[in-house]
Amino acid sequence: MTVKPFHLGWFLNGTSVPAWGQPFSGAIGTQWQSAEIFVDLARAMERACFDYVLIEDNTFVGDRYGDSMEVYLKHAFQAPRQDPMIVATLLAQATSKLGIIPTAGSFAYHPYMLARLVGSLDQLSKGRMGVNLVTGTSDRALQNYGYPGMGEHDSRYDTAEDFINASLALWDTWEPDAVVADVHTGVWADHTKVHRADFESATYSTRGPLNSGPLPQGRPIISQAGGSPRGIAFAAKYADTVIAIQATPAKMKEYRDKVREAAVSFGRNPDDVKVLFGIWPTIGSSQSEADDRIAAARAGVAANLEVALAAMAKSTDIDFANVPLDVPLGELGLSTNGTQQFAEFSARNATLTLREATIARSGAAGPALAGTPDHVAGLMEDIMAEVGGDGFLIGTNGVTRRFIAEITDGLVPELQRRGLTRRGYSFDQLRDNLLEF
C-alpha cells in the first residue's frame, strides 16, 4: 500500500529537564536556564524538516500527588517551566523554516494580549507561529490567576470559543494590503483598510484594531487537543492542527474520522485540519538494544512508581497517592473534571491494577514503537496506512541530545528514504507547509 507523505511535529514538554539525571544528559540539570538544549533541539528539528515544535505548558508547580510538591520538584517534573512565548522567540531566532507553536491557557490571557503576543511572534518569525489553545486541566493553574478553580468541563470550551472568536476578530482587523509603505505618496498604511474589531461576547469584549499590525500568515496556526465530544467540536471548528494521543491505529483512525466529519459539519475542508498523533519511540541500533531500553524504562517506573503516578495526578487532577495500587482500575470508578481521556485509559485497562497499568504505560501514552530506525519507520508507515494521515507528534519523557540525534539523525533519514516525510521545506510559512500534503 502506498502511503502519502505525512507531517512531523515535536511535542516539547515545556522547558523542563526531567532527564537531568539520565545517561547522556550532559549538564542540563544546571544549564536549563539558558534553554540551550531546546535551541539545539529546534535546529535539529529544522535539519530533519519537521513542520513544527509544539511547546506544551501548564502554569503551575504540581502538588496533586500526596498534596505535596516533593515528587514534582525532586524529579524536575514539569518544573521549572519557562514562559513558552519567550522560549518561542528564542527558537524563532535560531531557525528559519521550522514552525513554532507555544501553548496558551485561555484563562491566563485576555484575547487582546494573546492576539498581540502571537501576532508579534508571527511577524518576528516571518510567518511560522501558531498557538496551542488549552482550557486547563487542573484547578492549580487557574488558582495562580486568581480563580477558585476550573469551570465545568464543557463550559470551559464555551469560554475558549469566545476567546478564540475575539482573537480572530483582532487578527482580522488589518486587511492584508493595508500597509503600503509608499515613499512617493508618503502613506505608510491605508487607514481605510484597518478596522475596529468591536467584539462582544458573554465573556470577552475588545475594541481593536490590533496595534501590532498585520500578521504574515493573516492568522496564526491554531492548535487544539480536545479529546471529548465538545473538545473535538471545538477543534474541528477552529484548529489548523489537532494533536491527539490514541493507543492504537484503530483508535487513531476513529478519532481522526470524527475530527474530519465534525470539520465538514462546520463547512470546512477536512484536509485543512491536520491531525498529528503523539508517539514516544525508543530507537536502538538493534531490536534487542531497543527492547532492553524499554525493559529498563519499565523497571525504572516500577522502582519509582510515585513519579509516574505524580505525572498522571498532574494531568488528571486525581490524587493517586490515595488510590489503592493493587485493585483493578475497572473497580475503582475514578473520574475527573480535568482531562476526559483518563476515563478512556481506565476503561481500556479495566482488568489491570493501577500499578500494572502505570508500569505498562511506562510514562508514555500512544502506541509502543521500539526498534531500529528502519523498523520504527516501517511501523509508522503501517500506522499511517491504516489511519489515513496526517502525521506524528514525537515526544520523549525527557529531552537529551542523544534522544534528539536518535530521532533526527536516525529515524527521520529512514522516513525520508521511504518518501514518507519531507526532505526540504517547500515554503517559508507554517500554514503553507502544513497544507502542502
Ligand X SMILES: Cc1cc2nc3c(=O)[nH]c(=O)nc-3n(C[C@H](O)[C@H](O)[C@H](O)COP(=O)(O)O)c2cc1C
Residues of the shown chain interacting with ligand X in the complex, contacts defined by CB under 6 A: 56-58, 103, 105, 132, 134, 136-137, 225-228, 231, 243-245, 278, 339-341
Q: Which is nearer to ligand X, 19 or 243 (CB)?
A: 243
Closest to 331 (Cα-Cα) out of 344, 310, 349: 349
Q: How many whole angstroms separate alpha carbon 210 and alpha carbon 125?
A: 18
Q: Is residue 96 part of an annotated ligand binding site?
A: no
Smallest CA-to-CA distance from 366 within 230, 210, 252 is with: 252
Q: How far is the CB of 242 from ligand X (least distance, A)?
A: 9
Quote the least distance from Cβ 328 to ligand X, whole Å. 23
57 is in an annotated binding site: yes
User: Does 137 count as an annotated binding residue?
Assistant: no
Q: How far is the CB of 122 from ligand X (least distance, A)?
A: 19
Q: What minimum distance in Å lies between the beta carbon of 84 and ligand X?
A: 8
Nine-digit cell at 374? 528502519
The CB-of-136 to ligand X minimum distance in angstroms stands at 5
DSSP string, 67-81: G-SHHHHHTT-S-S-
**Closest CB to ligand X among 148 and 424?**
148
Buried b (16+ CB within 10 A) or exposed e, 39-52: bebbbbbbebbbbb
Q: From the CA atom positions of the chain, what is the Rg in Å?
A: 22
Beta bridge partners, 328, equal: 353
Smallest gap from residue 223 Cβ to ligand X (A): 9
| Contact yes or no for 297/363 (Cβ under 8 A) | yes
Give the integer Cα–Cα distance in Å for 217 and 254. Answer: 31
Q: Which is nearer to ligand X, 87 or 134 (CB)?
A: 134
Q: Smallest distance, Å, CB 16 to ligand X?
A: 12
CB of 57 to ligand X, least distance (A): 5
Cβ-count burial of 282 within 10 angstroms (0-12 exposed, 13-18 middle, 19+ buried)? buried
User: In the complex with ligand X, which residue's Cβ is closer, 245 or 354?
Assistant: 245
Task: Report yes or no: 202 and 244 within 8 Å, Cβ to Cβ.
Answer: no
Residues 277 and 49: their CA atoms lie apart, in Å, by: 17
Residue 103 known to bind ligand: yes
Spatial contact of 369 and 291, defined as CB atoms under 8 Å apart: no
Nearer to ligand X, 236 or 290 (CB): 236
Nearest in space to 105 (alpha carbons), one of 62, 145, 136: 136
Query: Which residues, at least 6 apart from 33, have a Cβ–Cβ distance to it below 8 Å?
Result: none
Residue 145 labeled ligand binder: no
Task: Give just the sign of the alpha carbon dihedral 385, 388, 390, 391.
Answer: negative
For ligand X, the nearest residue by Cβ is 231
Q: Choose between 92 and 134: whose C-beta lies nearer to ligand X.
A: 134
Cβ atoms of 72 and 314 within 8 Å: the answer is yes
CB of 179 to ligand X, least distance (A): 33
DSSP secondary structure letters along 7-31: EEEEEE-TT--TTTTSTT-TTHHHH
Dihedral angle sign, alpha carbons of residues 213, 109, 151, 197:
negative
Nearer to ligand X by Cβ, of 135 and 206: the residue is 135
Q: Are 410 and 420 in contact (CB under 8 A)?
A: no
For the bound state, the minimum distance from the C-beta of residue 393 to ligand X, rounded and expressed in Å, comes to 6
Closer residue to ligand X in complex, CB, 58/433: 58
All three cell numbers of 222: 491554531
Residue written as cell 494573546? 114
Host H or E run for residue 103: strand 99-105
Is the CB of 339 or the CB of 353 nearer to ligand X? Answer: 339
Pick the closer one to ligand X by CB: 141 or 169: 141
Annotated binding-site members: 57, 103, 153, 157, 228
Annotated binding-site members for FMN: 57, 103, 153, 157, 228
